[in-house]
Chain A
Amino acid sequence: MQGAVLRHLAFESRKLFHQTQTSMPDTAIDSAQPITTADGIPLKRALARALRRDKMKSLALVSPLFIFIALTFLMPIGDMLWRGIEDPIVSSFLPRTVAELKEWDELSGELPQESVYAALVADVKEGADTKLITRVGKRLNYELPGMNSLFRKSQRRIPRLEEGGPYKDAVIKLDKKWANVETWQIIKTFSPTLTAGYFWAALDLQVTPAGDVELLPDKNRIYLNLFWRTLLLSGFITLMTLILGYPIAYLLATLPLKTSNVLLMLVLLPFWTSLLVRTTSWIALLQRQGVINDFLVWINLIDDENRLSMIHNATGTVVAMTHILLPFMILPLYSVMKTIPKSYMRAAVSLGAHPFRAFFKVYAPNTVPGIGAGGILVFIISIGYYITPALVGGRSGTFISNFIAYHVSVSLNWGLAAALGIILLGLVLVLYILYDRIVGIDNMKLG
Chain B
Amino acid sequence: MKKSIIKQTLITASAVCFAAGTFAVAQAQELVVVSWGGAYSKSQQLAYHEPFMAENPGITIINDDSASEGVAKLRAQAEVGNVTWSLLDAIAADAITLCDEGLIEEFDFNTVFSPAPDGTPATEDFGDLIVSPCHIPNIVYSTTWGYRTDLVKTAPTQIADAFDLAKIPGKRSLEQKPINNLEWALLADGVAADDIYDVLDTPEGVARAFAVLDTIKEETVWWTRGAQPPQLLADGEVVMASGYNGRLFSAIEEEGQPIAMMWDWQVFDIDGWVLPVGAPHREETLALLRFATDTQRLADQAKYISYGPARMSSAPLVGKHAVLGIDMAPHMPTDPNNAKTTLLFNFEWWADNQDDLNEQFNSWLAQ
Closest to B351 in A: A148
Residue count of chain B within 8 Å CB distance of chain A:
28
Is there contact, CB below 8 Å, between B353 and A289? no
The residues of B that contact A15 with a CB separation of less than 8 Å are none
Is there contact, CB below 8 Å, between A131 and B222? no
Complex CA distance for A412 and B366, rounded to whole angstroms: 21
The residues of A that contact B100 with a CB separation of less than 8 Å are 131, 134, 152, 155
* B 341-367 contacts with A by CB, 8 A: 348, 351-353, 355-356, 358-360, 362-367
Does chain A have a CB within 8 A of B212?
Answer: no
How far in angstroms is the closest Cβ of chain B from A78? 20
Are A135 and B101 CB-contacts (below 8 A) given A225-B366, A226-B366, A411-B358? yes
Does chain A have a CB within 8 A of B111?
Answer: no
The residues of B that contact A148 with a CB separation of less than 8 Å are 351-352, 355
Is there contact, CB below 8 Å, between B351 and A149? yes
Does chain A have a CB within 8 A of B51?
Answer: no
Does chain B have a CB within 8 A of A141?
Answer: yes
Does chain A have a CB within 8 A of B280?
Answer: no
Is there contact, CB below 8 Å, between A149 and B359? no
Name the contact of A220 in the complex, choosing from B101, B222, B235, B359 (C-beta under 8 A). Answer: B359
Is there contact, CB below 8 Å, between B237 and A411? no
Complex CA distance for A135 and B351, rounded to whole angstroms: 13
The residues of A that contact B222 with a CB separation of less than 8 Å are 312, 394-395
The residues of A that contact B365 with a CB separation of less than 8 Å are 395
Name the contact of A221 in the complex, choosing from B101, B221, B236, B363 (C-beta under 8 A). Answer: B363
Is there contact, CB below 8 Å, between A288 and B224? no
**A contact set with B: CB distance below 8 Å:** 129-132, 134-135, 141-142, 145-149, 152, 155, 218-222, 225-226, 229, 287-290, 311-312, 390, 394-395, 403, 411-413
Complex CA distance for A134 and B364, rounded to whole angstroms: 30
Closest to B217 in A: A395
The residues of B that contact A289 with a CB separation of less than 8 Å are 235-237
Does chain A have a CB within 8 A of B72?
Answer: yes
* B 310-367 contacts with A by CB, 8 A: 348, 351-353, 355-356, 358-360, 362-367
Which 4 pairs from chain A and chain B are nearest by CB? A131-B102, A289-B236, A145-B356, A134-B100
The residues of B that contact A145 with a CB separation of less than 8 Å are 352-353, 355-356
How far in angstroms is the closest Cβ of chain A from B363? 5
Name the contact of B221 in the complex, choosing from A135, A290, A312 (C-beta under 8 A). Answer: A312
Closest to A229 in B: B366
Q: 21 A-B residue contacts at CB 8 Å?
A: A131-B101, A132-B101, A146-B352, A146-B353, A147-B352, A152-B100, A152-B351, A218-B363, A220-B356, A220-B359, A221-B363, A222-B362, A229-B366, A288-B236, A288-B237, A312-B222, A312-B237, A394-B221, A394-B222, A411-B355, A413-B355
Known: A141-B352, A145-B352, A288-B236. 13 other contacts (CB 8 A): A131-B101, A131-B102, A134-B101, A141-B355, A145-B353, A148-B351, A149-B352, A219-B363, A220-B356, A287-B235, A395-B366, A411-B355, A413-B355
Is there contact, CB below 8 Å, between A390 and B224? yes
Is there contact, CB below 8 Å, between B363 and A130? no
Name the contact of A222 in the complex, choosing from B235, B353, B359 (C-beta under 8 A). Answer: B359
The residues of A that contact B360 with a CB separation of less than 8 Å are 219-220
Does chain A have a CB within 8 A of B171?
Answer: yes
Complex CA distance for A218 and B366, rounded to whole angstroms: 11
The residues of B that contact A287 with a CB separation of less than 8 Å are 235, 237
The residues of B that contact A146 with a CB separation of less than 8 Å are 352-353
Per-residue contact bits, chain B 225-237, to A (CB 8 Å; 1 contact, 0 not): 0000000000111
Is there contact, CB below 8 Å, between A412 and B353? no
Are A142 and B101 CB-contacts (below 8 A) given A219-B363, A226-B366? no
The residues of B that contact A394 with a CB separation of less than 8 Å are 221-222
How far in angstroms is the closest Cβ of chain B from A318? 17
